[in-house]
Amino acid sequence: MKKKIMILGGTGFLGYYSTLEALKRGYEVGAIALDDVNLKGWYPTEVKVQHCDLFEIEEDKLAKMMEGYDYMIYSVGPDDRETPKAPAYDFFHQHLVEDCAKCFRAAEKAGIKKSVVFNSYFAYFDRRYPEFHLKEKHPYIRARVEQAAKLNEQKKNMEVVVLEFPYIFGSMPERMPIWKSVFLDRYAYGKKAIFFPKGSTTMTSVEHIGESAIGALEYGKDGERYPIGDENKSFDFMLNTMTGYALGKPRKIIHPGKLLCAMGGNMVAKAEMKQGNEPGLNLKLVMKEIMSSDKLVVEEEVIDEVNKLLHVSRGGLKESIEKTMERCYPNKSFK
């Protein structure tokens, strides 16, 4: 008999690729998601999709929807690119900690024996470099650290595996990559030159996210937190790939000093504050301490170890960035 996986957020970007990988490996898959996109013509018809708002549904009702499944993947929640109404910590704590914990309690009530949650590589950096005091400085990172702790504290008979994701590239039908609105339109579209910090980060393609999700169910250990990555690359590589694909040649990149980057981040944050919003990351410190640095990457030996353990393949990053650009600006309409 086929094992059954329930994917919360299964019609979203990361959930969709987790669904594809689960089907590829022979699992029976169900999904619970918002009814916010037309699934006809592209979404796998063998997946049973149920609709609800996971942030609003009652715990016992959600448990009923998950009965009969063996595993759960939690692919829901805002990431650091979302700017909520202030105070940001209250928003991220509610959605990433409290609402997530409710879903995991419901899964355990439903009889699910092992679950995976999608987290952030910022939580890994908080453990790896305590001298940066990341969770104290950034409400989003604080909520991500608390998310993993809460799920492991409350569990009783269900295993919990945490995956910590880096920059992710790729595309899917019907949904526009968030890269377009929060990054490309702001920093690159219509610009003769791009002003951006001279740093590096860890990146991967969305196909590898799907592999890591199912790999975590098959090989991940209860209570473990696994930082996921494919390659450590400079932001120059990312920007050159994006603009080179869209324009035929890379756009000029100018690297302001750390202090100027911090001033730019602070200006963006102040503009948001005037609208009553607050970013989940302190943009002044992000620009100065994180994005202007080559230090905050997942070490190559850690990437090798985790990918080997979870049976995640590597390669295709450049192609995934190009797919992202094609989805954001069809027919190379990027200017």
Q: Sorting pLDDT into bands at 50, 70 and 90, what band is 1?
A: confident
Q: Are strands 225-227 and 193-195 parallel, antiparallel or unpaired?
A: unpaired
- The hierarchical CATH code for the domain 4-168+203-230+298-315 is 3.40.50.720
Q: Quote the CA–CA distance of 242 and 32 in Å, as a whole number.
A: 33
Q: Quote the CA–CA distance of 166 and 71 in Å, as a whole number.
A: 24
Non-local CB neighbours of 45 within 8 Å, separated by 6+ positions: none
Q: Quote the CA–CA distance of 258 and 285 in Å, as a whole number.
A: 10
pLDDT at 98: 98
Confidence check: pLDDT of 186 > 90: no
Own/partner contacts of 283-291, CB < 8 Å, gap of 24 or more, are: 285/137, 285/138, 286/138, 287/197, 287/258, 287/261, 287/262, 288/258, 288/259, 288/261, 288/262, 289/132, 290/199, 291/196, 291/197, 291/199, 291/201, 291/235, 291/261
Q: Sorting pLDDT into bands at 50, 70 and 90, what band is 182?
A: confident
Half-sphere exposure of 95 (CA within 13 A, CB side): 18
Q: Quote the CA–CA distance of 237 and 294 in Å, as a whole number.
A: 13
pTM over 0.95: yes
Q: Which of 14-18, 80-84, 187-191, 264-268 has the lowest mean pLDDT?
A: 187-191
Per-residue model confidence as pLDDT tens digits over 68-110: 999 999 999 999 999 999 999 999 999 999 999 999 999 999 9
Per-residue model confidence as pLDDT tens digits over 277-334: 999 999 999 999 999 999 999 999 999 999 999 999 999 999 999 999 999 998 877 8
Q: Which two tokens stand for residue 108?
A: 């355990």
